[in-house]
Amino acid sequence: MAYQSESLIAQAREIREASGVSQRALSERAGLTQSHISQIESGKMEPGLSSFIDLTRALDLEVMLVPKKLVPAVLSLVKARATRDMHIHAGQPNDKRFARAERLVKKMKHLYGSSADLDRIEDTLRFLRRFNISDQEMQLVRALIARLERYQASAQAAPVVRDIAQNLQQLRNSIVHAAPSEPRPAYSLDDGDADADA
Amino acid sequence: MAYQSESLIAQAREIREASGVSQRALSERAGLTQSHISQIESGKMEPGLSSFIDLTRALDLEVMLVPKKLVPAVLSLVKARATRDMHIHAGQPNDKRFARAERLVKKMKHLYGSSADLDRIEDTLRFLRRFNISDQEMQLVRALIARLERYQASAQAAPVVRDIAQNLQQLRNSIVHAAPSEPRPAYSLDDGDADADA
DNA sequence: TCGAACGATACACTATTCTATATCGCATAG
DNA sequence: CTATGCGATATAGAATAGTGTATCGTTCGA
């Protein structure tokens, strides 16, 4: 099925395997379930565009639109470097946290209905996830996520959710402002703290 | 919604509009319905991966996976090409074609008398020539010019000419409509228009 | 031989895509 | 004023994506 996407998916799979990432590991980083990934990779299911993007992003890839004429050029460019370049930092607790948080939000939307604030949180999480954020910033994010988890089922969740949304938004804004167009210099490779919180 | 895919979809839309392809036309080529395309473009719906691929293929684009590190490189490659294509370079084939087409129209007016349609064609050609148009748009223009050349002396020229005038007009409209706030490079670059008549 | 991690699969259920068709308001050309 | 083409929108139904959870067979290392 889905003849068009086959090659892209196969590509993604190859890269995943070449990077030594298991479906389960990827599923956490991408925010999908392992079973989902399995079915996508084996062609039993066709992913939505954003699922696919989530997948590829978790593999350090970008989905790009390229004019047909330029495909060979881009291809040669990519291939030249791709073979030895693909290495993924194995454990990235931050990513895990984000994935977890995103799933939490998704679940909340399910259970209690969508809301502007939840949408905003979701978007902002996705945004922040793409950036290499500093430890300090991540601490804030972690605190906010923890708070969200704590209050998810409470009766007064609404104002809390709103507050969290606002905080995340502010963080995002500050980052955007600080980084006009430049790629951030990749900090955050340290993060010595084990990932054991709930 | 779907923060990740937004930019890709926006890109596709820009390209569609820049190419003067309507949603309806695209829907036929891509095998989706117009309403579907509308909802995707306006963010009201998230396309499946293969729908998106269908869309982009119909726009002469390829969806590619690029390692994050190479994104800037690829981007510059694509952009360079795009701007080069959109740039009016004196002595480029595009300009030649326009010059030729304008001469042809002038000749026709001479021989067969002026007409509203011919006037419109002339007008539109002048407009388009001054504008930076993409490859795809130019292909359409070329096709239309070729048709004009073919039918210039035929007995049933009139309806053909009218049709061509209409097509050009539409192209023009779509371009104007598509670029409300967009920083198109170099309008006033060459109002002097030294005109490479090589 | 045991156990852990891998990928594949099943199943029940929900949410969403996608089609098909029709209409709307709007701009523009005849 | 009428016709046409544009994009946005509505609605109903069929198809399928996606979740959550659980299991299976296999491979591999201890």
Among A141, A164, A142, A140, residue whose Cα is nearest residue A152: A164
> Greater confidence, A83 or B59?
B59
The confidence band for A61, taking pLDDT boundaries of 50, 70 and 90, is very high
pLDDT, mean of residues A44-64 = 92
Q: Tokens for A60, please give them.
A: 């350090």
Q: Note the pLDDT of residue A55.
A: 92
Are A109 and A71 found together in one domain? no
- Given the structure tokens 């995340």, which residue do they identify? A168
Confirm whether B94 is domain-assigned: yes
* The residue count for chain A: 198
| The pair of three-digit structure tokens given for residue B147, joined into one six-digit string | 């048709």
* % of chain B with per-residue pLDDT over 90: 19
pLDDT for the residue B72: 76
Distance CA B113, CA B157 (A): 13
Res. A192: pLDDT tops 70? no
User: Are A97 and A174 in a shared domain?
Assistant: yes
* pLDDT the model gives residue A184: 32
Specify whether the CB–CB gap between A74 and B81 falls below 8 A: no
One domain for residues A144 and A117? yes
- My answer on whether A76 and A110 are in the same domain is no
Q: For residue B23, which nucleotide's C1' is closest to its Cα?
A: D7
Say which amino acid occupies B6.
E
**pLDDT higher at A59 or B177:** A59
Between A59 and A126, the more confident residue is A59
State the Cα–Cα distance between residues A158 and A148, nearest whole angstrom: 10
Residue B67 has pLDDT above 50, yes or no: yes
Please give the average per-residue pLDDT across A48-76, as a whole number: 88
How far apart CA B137 and CA A1 sit, in angstroms, is 33
| Confidence (pLDDT) at B71 | 84
- Is residue A161 domain-shared with residue A110, that is, in the same domain? yes
Backbone phi and psi for residue A90, each to the nearest 5 degrees, phi listed first: -55, -80
**A154 in a domain, yes or no?**
yes
Q: Which of A85, A107, A138 is the last residue of a domain?
A: A85
The whole-angstrom separation of Cα B14 and Cα A114 is: 30
B169 Cβ within 7 A of any nucleic strand C atom: yes
Ranked by mean pLDDT, which of A78-82, A129-133, A181-185, B96-100 comes out on top?
B96-100
pLDDT interval class at B188 (50, 70, 90): very low
Per-residue pLDDT reduced to its tens digit, A82-110? 444 444 444 456 667 777 788 888 878 77
Within a domain: residue A72?
yes
Q: Is the pLDDT of residue B171 over 90?
A: no
A-chain residues near B4 (CB < 8 A):
50, 53-54, 57, 126
pLDDT value at residue A45: 92
CB atoms within 10 A of CB B15: 20
Q: Is B66 helix (H, G, I), strand (E, B) or coil?
A: strand
A127/B contact by beta carbon, under 8 A: yes
Q: Which residues pair with B67 in a beta bridge?
A: A61
| A68 and A10 both lie in a single domain | yes
- Pick out the nucleotide with least CA–C1' distance to A33: D19
* End residue of a domain, out of B39, B68, B97: B68
Per-residue pLDDT at B4: 74
Which among B172, B93, B102 is positioned nearest to B137, based on CA atoms?
Answer: B172
Which domain, by its residues, includes A134?
93-178
Task: Identify the sign of the CA torsion A162, A188, B67, A46.
Answer: negative
Which residues neighbour strand D (beta carbon < 7 Å)? A 2, 31-36, 40, 45-48, 50-51, 103, 106-107; B 17, 22-25, 34-35, 38-39, 41-42, 44, 48, 170
- Is A67 found in the same domain as A110? no
Span CA (B35) to C1' (C21), Å: 10
What is the mean pLDDT of the segment spanning A75-83?
62
Asked if B70 and A61 come within 8 Å (Cβ–Cβ), the reply is no
Nearest CA to B53 out of B70, B35, B30 is that of B30
Q: How confident is the model at residue A163, as a pLDDT? A: 79
Q: Same domain for B61 and B90?
A: no
Touching check for A45 and chain B: CB below 8 Å? no
- Of B2, B69, B73, which is closest to A50 when you measure between CB atoms? B2
The DSSP line for chain A is --HHHHHHHHHHHHHHHHTT--HHHHHHHHTS-HHHHHHHHTTSSPPBHHHHHHHHHHTTEEEEEEEGGGHHHHHHHHHHHHHHH----S--HHHHHHHHHHHHHHHHHHHH---HHHHHHHHHHHHHHHS---HHHHHHHHHHHHHHHHHTTSTTHHHHHHHHHHHHHHHHHHHHHH-SSPPP--------------
Does any CB of chain B come closer than 8 Å to the CB of residue A68?
Answer: yes
CA distance A157 to chain B (A): 22
Stretch among A13-17, A53-57, B178-182 having the lowest mean pLDDT: B178-182
Q: Are B167 and B144 in contact (CB under 8 A)?
A: yes
* CATH number reported for the structural domain that contains residue B43 in this entry: 1.10.260.40
Question: What pLDDT was estimated at residue B40?
Answer: 93
Confidence of residue B187 (pLDDT cuts 50, 70, 90): very low
Which residues in chain A have Cβ-Cβ distances shorter than 8 Å to B51? 49
- Helices A135-151 + A157-178 axis angle, to 10: 160
* Range of A109-118, A160-169, B21-30 with top mean pLDDT: B21-30
Q: CB neighbours (10 Å) of residue A73?
A: 15
User: What is the least distance, in Å, from the CA of B86 to any CA of chain A?
Assistant: 14
For B89, the token pair is 């370079």
Q: Which of A34-43, A183-192, B56-65, B78-87 has the lowest mean pLDDT?
A: A183-192
Dihedral of CA A194/A195/A197/B2: which sign? positive
- Which among A85, A113, A130 is the end of a domain? A85
* Mean pLDDT comparison of A37-51, A94-108, B81-95, B150-164, highest-scoring range: A37-51
- Structural domain total, chain B: 2
Same domain? For A109 and A54 the reply is no
Tell me the per-residue pLDDT of A5-33, one tens digit each, with 9 for 90 and over.
889 999 999 888 888 888 988 998 888 88
Does residue B197 belong to any structural domain of this protein? no
Give the pLDDT band of residue B38 (cuts 50, 70, 90): very high
**Residue B93: CB atoms within 10 Å:** 10
SS3 (DSSP) at B154: coil
For the cut 80, the answer to whether the pLDDT of residue A68 exceeds it is yes
In terms of domains, do B94 and B39 share one? no
Q: What is the pLDDT of residue B69?
A: 78
Q: Are residue B116 and residue B150 in the same domain, yes or no?
A: yes
Are residues B53 and B108 located together in one domain of the fold? no
Most confidently predicted of A39-53, B69-83, B106-120: A39-53
Model pLDDT, residue B164: 78
The confidence score (pLDDT) of residue A70 equals 83
Compare CB distances from B63 to A65, A77, A126 and report the shortest one's residue.
A65
Return the pLDDT at A31: 84
A10 touches chain B (CB under 8 A): no
